[in-house]
Amino acid sequence: MKAWISAARLRTLPLSVSGIIVGAAMAGAKGAFDWRIFVLALLTTIGFQVVSNFANDYGDGVKGTDNDDRVGPARALQTGAITPKAMKRAIIITSVITMLVALLLVYISFGKDSIGYILLFLLLGIASIAAAIKYTVGSSAYGYHGFGDLFVFLFFGLLSVCGSYFLFTKQLSWEVFLPAFSIGCLSAGVLNLNNMRDRESDEKVGKNTLVVKIGDEFAKYYHYYLLVSAMFFSLLFVVIKYKEPLNLIFLLAFIPILWHLKTVYNNKDPKKLDPELKKLALSTFIFSFLFYISQNLFL
């Protein structure tokens, strides 16, 4: 059980639900919040994240990417705590359970008469599972070709925020994309930080992440652009939607992020970036929680 809990990587879950919280916050501001949709959306997103974590462990494990040169925590397949066969079975079981929860989510959200919306969100669910698995699994794994950042931005940012907002409201408005961009940039920043930490070991085994392709120096600049962009889109949202001082409270989450940027700027040893992963992921979750409060949702 301890090995499976470790493989599920619980510390990644707060980051994965941040987009759902932000989408729910904006829906609640429109008077469209529903606790059933919120809980099921959280469970669905957590399911997708666990599938992704299992698949990442499996893909990097069978390829030999997770080895003694790796800086981060040892993985389940790497240590032999879980066999490849058992991990593959867990990926299938978790995917099926997650899709069943997703089916219930879209049914409660749209009802049986909105077949078009139900099919659309089921296809998005299937795409999410496929993206989670193909990140590291298979010869064409996109995480090995530098496309991980793009997929994280799309699925953790745009789909998570805008998709959850649509589940509540059955509509989209352009301002929803601003906090979605912020969450997407912050999530991509977490992945970039992970890849900065692992650049040397990834390069040795042919895992050509974006950091491997552009090098350490440009990876730092890219990191600055991601987090500054997240702040910019948040500030733009505040300017457009400002009603009262409480609307500004979520900007407090950027205080530790600014301190984090200073740490990354001064960093000379990639191994010391590992603690920053948790800090940035937690700051993103705090951002989403404060954003929820900023929309006056005390539901």
**155-190: per-residue pLDDT in tens?**
999 999 999 999 999 999 999 999 999 999 999 999
Q: Distance of alpha carbon 121 from its chain centroid, rounded?
A: 18
**Separation CA 23–CA 291 (nearest Å):** 10
Which regions of the chain does DSSP assign to beta strands (E)? none
Residues 6 or more apart whose Cβ sits within 8 Å of residue 253: 283, 284, 286, 287, 290
| pLDDT greater than 90 at residue 213 | yes
- Check residue 67 and give its pLDDT: 56
User: Residues 6 or more apart from 84 whose CB is under 8 A from it?
Assistant: 58, 61, 62, 77
**% helix, strand, coil for the chain, step of 5:** 80, 0, 20
* Residue carrying the six token digits 């066999």: 83
In contact, 192 and 219? CB cutoff 8 Å: yes
Rg (CA), the chain: 19
Three-state secondary structure along 184-201? HHHHHHHHHHHHHHCHHH
249 contacts 287 by C-beta, under 8 angstroms: no
pLDDT tens column, 219-270: 999 999 999 999 999 999 989 988 888 888 999 999 999 999 999 999 888 8
**pLDDT surpassing 50 at residue 299:** no
pLDDT digits (tens, 9 = 90+) for 105-164: 999 999 877 888 889 999 999 999 999 888 888 777 888 888 989 999 999 999 999 999
Residue where the block lists tokens 């959306």: 41
- Distance between first and last Cα of the chain: 35
Q: What is the pLDDT of residue 11?
A: 82
Q: Are 91 and 133 in contact (CB under 8 A)?
A: yes
Structure tokens at 227: 């987090």
Per-residue pLDDT of 4-27, as tens digits, reads 787 778 888 899 999 999 999 999
Amino acid of residue 215:
G
Please report, for the chain, the start and end positions of each structural domain, with discontinuous segments joined by +. Answer: 14-294
DSSP string, 250-284: GGGGHHHHHHHHHHHHH---GGGGHHHHHHHHHHH
Q: Is the pLDDT of residue 70 over 70?
A: no
Token pair in block for residue 159: 């789909």
Q: Cβ distance 165 to 266 under 8 Å?
A: no
Which tokens hold the place of 266? Answer: 């001064």
CB 259 within 8 A of CB 279: no
